[in-house]
């Protein structure tokens, strides 16, 4: 079952990698980022509702759990996209991506603070390799110091880490399908409100726009959210978050294939480092855990 969770997390990152293609295509047609986000989650909600109706799923979970999933999606899954967009107005998109993908470190810290879980050494090494690889994926010359942009992006990363932490530890008894629906519904409400406040809400009125909306909603939202919930049922939140950082690799690959972007030597080495870091997560390595509580002498004697 652990292997299933691993593959669910990897495929989730793969599908998220198409966000750039469908999102850029939609915004090039005149959509704002907020309006594109609303239609993304509207389509995701509609698709997941149809799937649940087709499967005939009975109600699962308590009212408290349903409200918690809805709030977790609307606040902590919906906020990162908005904060990331705002951060990109102050710093380069590539720089914002690197800062956002420190969220696995936040997940490990949340597990340590609230659950007293030790930080695995090979997870930490994996994170450092992935972070170095991500830095190589962006143009260093575009990076600039802007405190507002960096803080907004850090908040985006923290928000997404809280979403993963809550999904794993507070909602583990909720089935993946209704959880995914409620997350999409929460995000639809959040992004819809922001699009209305921003004054950028418009309806899709062309075939290409509807095509990209469907791609964003089903391929890049409904399925990845569902797969991540499935992954969290079988693997730890630390491992799931580190594997989901494969997303930028897929973004680069799809950018080369679909958008004709050029793959540089630095980007190639960055991809290799990210892949090595992700592989470290999937291999069981016996290394001492960090900040692990020391065992008492009586516990050591009893083991003997």
pLDDT for 253 equals 85
CB atoms under 10 Å from CB of 125, counted, come to: 15
Identify whether 299 is part of a domain: no
What is the percent of the chain with per-residue pLDDT over 90, rounded to a whole number?
Answer: 54
Q: How far apart are CA 36 and CA 139, in angstroms?
A: 26
The H or E element containing residue 180 is helix 176-198
Number of compact structural domains in the chain: 1
pLDDT for 288 equals 61
Identify whether 209 is part of a domain: yes
pLDDT for 57 equals 62
Which domain, by its residues, includes 280? 2-284
The H or E element containing residue 252 is helix 247-258
Identify whether 15 is part of a domain: yes
Tokens of 239: 């491992």
Q: Is the pLDDT of residue 275 over 70?
A: yes
Closest C-alpha among 35, 6, 33 to residue 202: 35
Identify whether 87 is part of a domain: yes
Q: How far apart are CA 67 and CA 189, in angstroms?
A: 14
Q: How far apart are CA 256 and CA 166, in angstroms?
A: 35
Least confident of 1-5, 46-50, 113-117, 286-290: 286-290
Tokens of 91: 């710093």
Average pLDDT, the chain: 87
Whose tokens are 């990076």? That residue is 143
pLDDT for 129 equals 92
Q: How far apart are CA 281 and CA 294, in angstroms?
A: 25
Identify whether 17 is part of a domain: yes
Mean pLDDT over 249-270 rounds to 84
Mean pLDDT over 74-94 rounds to 89
Mean pLDDT over 34-52 rounds to 95
- Pick from 82-91, 137-146, 186-195 the range whose average pLDDT is largest: 186-195
Mean pLDDT over 138-167 rounds to 89
List, for residues 86-145, the tens digit of each pLDDT value: 898 898 888 888 899 999 999 999 999 999 998 888 888 999 999 999 989 887 777 778
Q: Is the pLDDT of residue 245 over 70?
A: yes
Q: Is the pLDDT of residue 18 over 50?
A: yes
Q: Is the pLDDT of residue 11 over 90?
A: yes
Q: Is the pLDDT of residue 50 over 70?
A: yes
pLDDT for 62 equals 83
Query: CB–CB of 273/129 below 8 Å?
Result: yes
pLDDT for 294 equals 54
Mean pLDDT over 64-69 rounds to 91
Tokens of 69: 């999933």
pLDDT for 304 equals 39
Identify whether 295 is part of a domain: no
Least confident of 180-189, 217-226, 280-289: 280-289
pLDDT for 287 equals 57
Strand partners, 119: 290
Mean pLDDT over 241-261 rounds to 84
Identify whether 292 is part of a domain: no
pLDDT for 292 equals 61
Identify whether 126 is part of a domain: yes
Mean pLDDT over 181-206 rounds to 95
């Amino acid at each position: 079952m652990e292997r299933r969770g691993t593959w669910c997390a990897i495929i989730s990152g793969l599908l998220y990698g198409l966000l750039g293609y469908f999102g850029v295509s939609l915004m090039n047609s005149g959509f704002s980022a907020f309006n594109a986000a609303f239609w993304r989650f509207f389509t995701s909600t509609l698709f997941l509702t149809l799937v649940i109706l087709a499967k005939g799923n009975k109600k699962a979970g308590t009212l408290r759990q349903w409200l918690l999933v809805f709030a977790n999606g609307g606040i902590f899954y919906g906020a990162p996209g908005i904060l990331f967009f705002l951060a990109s107005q102050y710093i380069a998109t590539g720089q914002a991506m690197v800062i956002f993908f420190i969220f696995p470190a936040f997940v490990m810290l949340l597990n340590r603070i609230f659950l007293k879980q030790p930080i695995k050494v090979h997870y930490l090494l994996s994170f450092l390799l992935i972070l170095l690889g991500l830095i190589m994926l962006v143009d260093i010359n575009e990076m600039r110091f802007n405190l507002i942009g960096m803080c907004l992006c850090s908040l985006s990363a923290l928000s997404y880490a809280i979403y993963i932490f809550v999904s794993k530890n507070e909602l583990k008894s909720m089935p993946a399908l209704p959880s995914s629906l409620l997350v999409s519904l929460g995000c639809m409400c959040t992004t819809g409100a922001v699009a209305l406040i921003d004054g950028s809400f418009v309806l899709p009125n062309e075939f290409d726009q509807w095509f990209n909306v469907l791609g964003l909603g089903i391929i890049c939202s409904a399925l990845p959210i569902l797969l991540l919930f499935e992954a969290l049922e079988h693997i730890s939140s630390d491992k799931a978050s580190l594997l989901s950082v494969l997303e930028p690799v897929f973004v680069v690959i799809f950018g080369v294939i679909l958008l004709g972007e050029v793959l540089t030597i630095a980007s190639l080495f960055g991809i290799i480092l990210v892949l090595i870091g992700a592989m470290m997560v999937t291999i069981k390595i016996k290394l001492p855990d960090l900040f692990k509580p020391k065992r008492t002498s009586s516990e050591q004697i009893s083991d003997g």
